[in-house]
Amino acid sequence: MSMNGQKKFKSQSRSRKVSLGVTYTILVIMGIIWLIPLLWIVLSAFRCQYQPDGTFIGRVTSNFFPKAFGLKNFKDLFSATYYGVPKAFGKWILNTLLIAVIDCIISTFLVMSVAYCMSKLKFKLRKAFMNITMVIGLFPGFMSMIAIYFLLKSIGLSGNPTHPEYSVIGLILAYSAGAGLGFQIAKGFFDVIPNALVESAKLDGCTSFKIFRQIILPLSKPIIIYQALMSFTGPWMDFIFAKVIIGADNARYWTVSVGLYSMLFGTHPDTNLFTQFAAGCVIVAIPIVTLFMFLQKYYVEGVTAGAVKG
Amino acid sequence: MSPQNKAPKKNKISLFERIGKAFSNFGKRFADGSLGTKLSHFIFGAGNFYHKQYIKGLLFLILQVGILAFMIFCPTINGTPYGWKALRNLSLKNVSEGGVFDPATGSFSVGSDCKLMVLFGFVTIAVIVIYFLVWNMNIASSYKADMDKKIGKKPTTFGEDLKELLDSKFHVLMLTPTCIAAAIFTILPTIFMIALAFTTYNSQDMNDLGTNLFHWNGLQNFAAVFTGEGSLGVEIKNRFLPVLGWTFIWAIFATFTCYFGGIILALLINKKGLKGKKFFRTIFILTIAIPQFISLLAVRNLLGEYGPVNSLLQNIGATTQPIGFLGLKTGDSESLAKFMVILINMWVGIPYTMLMTSGILMNIPADLYEAGRVDGASTTKMFFKITLPYVIFITTPYLISSFIGNINSFNTIFLLTGGGPTYTGYQAGGTDLLVTWLYKVTIDQGSYNTGAVIGIFTFLITATITLITYRRSKAYNEEDTFQ
C-alpha cells in the first residue's frame, strides 16, 4: 500500500470516528431532552417536601430535584377520598382494567374478522364497504361523541339515575363498537399473506372458516398482539370520551385517566394535588410501558405495516 | 406499466344502469317466480313455506311482523315515540315544552324532546330501509329455491344455509357484528350530528323555546360564517378564518417537522458502528408508550408559571417575569404559544416516525448504495439521491394520513395550551384547532348546531385532501395487483 493510500485510509477512519462521536453526542443530548419531563414526573411522585409550618407541599414547585423523598404521595393517593368517593384511586384502576380487558377482547375480534374479509374474501359490496368506512373515518370523532351520549342515555346506559354503573357498559360499547372500522392496518398485514396459500387450501376443500382459523390466524400472531395492545391501552389513555359517557358527577365509575385529569382540571381543582397526580401517573405508566417494552417488536411491526399501506 | 394494470375494469356499469337492472330484476322475479315467490312480495317467508323451508320462512315472517308492529304501534322511550309517529315528529313541528295533563293518571305526560325526535326519526328511517332489504332477501331466497327446483336440485335446508355461513357466505357472518355495531354507534351518531347543523339546537336558543325544543333552520348556521347571526354567530364569523388558517399551518408544520426529524433520528440511531442502538430506541419509545395526558401535562407544568423552567430562567437573569410559554393566560403571546406547541409536538411525534422509518431504512436494497459508491457519490449525496426518495416513496400514504391526523390532533393542543391564549368574548383561543374549538363549542357551550357546522367543515377539508391525494396513490389504485 502506498503512503498516499495509507494516509487516505487513516483520515477516513478518523473522519468516521469524528462523525460517530458527533452522532453519540446528538443522541445523548436528544435522549436527555426526551427524558427530562418524564424524569420530572417520577421525581415529583416521590417528592416529600414540607412548608416550615408543617404543611405538605403538593403543588408544582420551582426546584426540579426534590429536597426530600418519600412515599407519602402514593400512600395518600390510595387512601384519599376524591369527589366524595373514598379510596377512589383503587376503584378507578380496577374499573379501567375491567373496561380495557373487555374492550380489548371485543375490538381485537372485530378488527380481525373485518380485516380478513376485506383482504382475502371477494364479495359484492367489498369496495363499497371500504369507501364508506373511509368517509366515516374522516369526520372528527368528537363530533359524534355527544350523539353517542344521547343515544346511550336514551337506552339507560349512560347518566342512568338509578343505575350509575350501567355507564361502564355504555363506555365499553362506545369504545369497541366502532373498532371494526379500524381494520386498515390488520388488512395491510393480511394482504402480505400470499393469496396462493388461501387458494390452494380452497382447492383442498377447506371452508373459508377453516382457512381463517387454521391458516390465517396462526400466521397473524404479530398483528393480533398489536391490535390487542392498542385496544387494551386505549382506555388508559382516553380522558375525554370516558368523562362524557360516564359523567362528570359519577366519580365512582370513572376511569383512572379521567380521575387523574380531574386532579389537575376538575371542578374544584386542588393545586396541591400535583404530586399525587404524578404518583398516579407513575402507577398508570408502569404497566403500560412494561407492556410496550415486552411487545415492542409487534408494535413496530404494526406501525410499519400501517405506514406502508396508509 | 404491466399488462395487468391496463386490463379494462370489469363491472364498470353506471349507477343508472344498475338501478334499471335492479328494477327489471324485480319484475322478472315476479313474473317468472312460482306462486310462493309471487306471494313473498306481500308476505315475507311465504315462498320459503311454499318450498317447505319452514325455519327460514318463519324467521322472515317474524321480521316482517316485528317491523310492521314497530312502525304501527310506535314503542316509546323517554316519552318520545318510534315508528310512524317518529317520522311525523321529524318535522319538529307542534312540539311543546310541558306535557299534557292526564286526569286518568293525575300527572303530566312527558313533553317533547326534539333531539330524541330527530334521533328516533333516523332510527325509524333505518328500520324502513332494513324492511326493504329483508323484503328483497326473502324474494331472492324464494326465487333461488324456484331455480334450484327447475334444474332438479332440492331447495337448501336451513342447516345447509347455516353451513354456507362458514364458507361462501363467511363474509356475512364476519361482517354482521361490525355492521350492526358501527351503524348504531358510528354512522347513526354521525348522521345525527350532521342533521343538528341544520337546526337551532344550542343552549342559548333553547332557553327561548324551552329546554328540549328546537327547530330546523336550513343553512343559517353555515351562513353565520359570513353574516355573524345566531347565538355564536359573531364567534363563528370572526374566529373561523383565523382558526382555519392556524389549523392548516399547524398541520403542515406538525407533519413535516416530525417526519423529517424522525427520518434523521432513525438515520442517526441506525448508523453503522453505533453501539447501544436498542438503548437509544427504547428511550424514544418511552414517549409513545406513556399516555399523552401524562407526558403532555408534565411538559405543561414544567413550562408553567411556577415551574422549574421559568424559575431557572429567572434565576439566571434571562427574564424578570415568568414567561407564558403556552399562552395559558389572556394576554400571553400567541406566536410564542404556537411556536411552542409545534416544538413540543416534535417531542411527541419524532419517535413515532423514527420507529416507522427504521424498518424501511433497513430494507433499502444495499446494491443501490453500492452503485452509488462505485460512482463516487458522497454520503450526503447518497442521502438525498437514494435514501430520502426511497423513504418518501414508501411512506407517502403515511404522510397523507398523518397530515389528516394532525388536522384532528386534539390531545396536543388541548393538553398543552387548552387553546390559549384566550380572547375575551370568544371561545376560540389563539392556538385552537378546528377540533378543539368544536369540543369547546359543543361540550362547554352546548352549542350543538355550531359544533356540527365546525365538524362538517373539518370533514370537507379532510375529505378534499384525501380525495385529491389518496385516489391517485398507488396503494389505492393497485390494491389488488399488490397482492
The pLDDT tens digits for B203-260 are: 777 666 667 788 898 898 899 888 888 778 888 888 999 999 999 999 999 999 999 9
DSSP conformation letters of B173-209: HHHHHHHHHHIIIIIHHHHHHHHHTTB--SHHHHHHH
- Reading the block at residue B343, the C-alpha cell is 416544538
Percent of chain A with pLDDT over 90: 47
Mutate to test the interface with A, among B119, B180, B185 (most CBs of A within 10 A): B185
User: How many whole angstroms separate alpha carbon B387 and alpha carbon B393?
Assistant: 10
What value does the mean pLDDT take over residues B34-40?
A: 89
> Which B residues in the span 224-263 are in contact with A, Cβ-Cβ below 8 Å?
none
Please write the tens of the pLDDT for every residue from A259-301. 999 888 876 666 788 999 999 999 999 999 999 988 988 888 8
CATH of domain B230-477: 1.10.3720.10
- Residue B154: predicted pLDDT: 84
**Buried b / exposed e along A35-68 (16+ C-beta atoms within 10 A):** ebbbebbbbbbbbebeeeeeebbbebbeebebee
Please write the tens of the pLDDT for every residue from A163-172. 999 999 999 9
User: How many whole angstroms separate alpha carbon B199 and alpha carbon B208?
Assistant: 14
CA–CA distances in Å: residue B453 to residues A172, B344, B448: 28, 30, 9
Question: How many Cβ pairs within 8 Å bridge chains A and B?
Answer: 272
Q: What is the mean pLDDT of chain A?
A: 88
Contacts of B382 (CB under 8 A, 6+ apart): B369, B372, B373
Please write the tens of the pLDDT for every residue from B373-422. 888 888 788 888 888 888 888 888 788 888 989 999 999 999 999 888 88
Residue indicated by cell numbers 384532528? B408
Q: Which CATH class is domain A77-309?
A: mainly alpha
What DSSP character marks residue B100? P
Residue A306: closest C-alpha in chain B:
B398
Amino acid residing at A102: I
Conformation bin of residue B290: beta by default, left when phi > 0, alpha when psi is -120 to 50? beta
Q: What is the mean pLDDT of chain B?
A: 85
Please write the tens of the pLDDT for every residue from A201-252. 889 888 888 999 998 999 899 999 999 999 999 999 999 999 999 988 899 9
Split at pLDDT 50, 70, 90, the class of A307 is low
- Residue B475: predicted pLDDT: 52
User: How many whole angstroms separate alpha carbon B133 and alpha carbon A14?
Assistant: 75
Residue A39: closest C-alpha in chain B:
B298
Pick the more confident residue, B43 or B366.
B43
Strand partners, B81: B76
- Residue B125: predicted pLDDT: 95
Identity of the residue in A60, A155, A260 whose CB atom sits nearest the CB atom of B306: A60
> Is A62 within 8 Å of B310 when comparing Cβ atoms?
yes
Please write the tens of the pLDDT for every residue from B427-479. 888 999 999 999 999 988 888 999 999 999 999 999 998 888 866 665 555 55
Residue indicated by cell numbers 355504555? A170
Ranges of each domain in chain B: 18-164, 230-477
pTM over 0.95: no
Strand partners, A50: A56
Ranges of each domain in chain A: 3-76, 77-309
Please write the tens of the pLDDT for every residue from A114-148. 999 998 888 888 888 988 898 888 888 888 888 99
Task: Give the closest residue to B247 by CA, choosing from B423, B403, B352.
Answer: B403
Q: Measured between alpha carbons, how far apart are the two ends of chain B, in Å? A: 16
Longest dimension (CA), chain B: 98
CA–CA distances in Å: residue A76 to residues A79, A272, B439: 5, 12, 33
> Which B residues in the span 376-435 are in contact with A, Cβ-Cβ below 8 Å?
394-395, 397-398, 400-401, 404, 408, 410, 414, 434-435
Amino acid residing at B452: A
**Contact status, residue B301 vs residue B307, Cβ threshold 8 Å:** yes
What value does the mean pLDDT take over residues A105-112?
A: 95
Percent of chain B with pLDDT over 70: 90
> Is A144 within 8 Å of B298 when comparing Cβ atoms?
no
User: How many whole angstroms separate alpha carbon B360 and alpha carbon A300?
Assistant: 11
Question: What ipTM score was computed for the predicted complex, to two decimals?
Answer: 0.90
Identity of the residue in A61, A134, A177 whose CB atom sits nearest the CB atom of B184: A177
Contacts of A40 in chain B (CB under 8 A): 298, 302, 308
CA distance B452 to chain A (A): 7
- Say yes or no: B177 contacts chain A, CB-CB below 8 A: yes
Amino acid residing at B259: Y
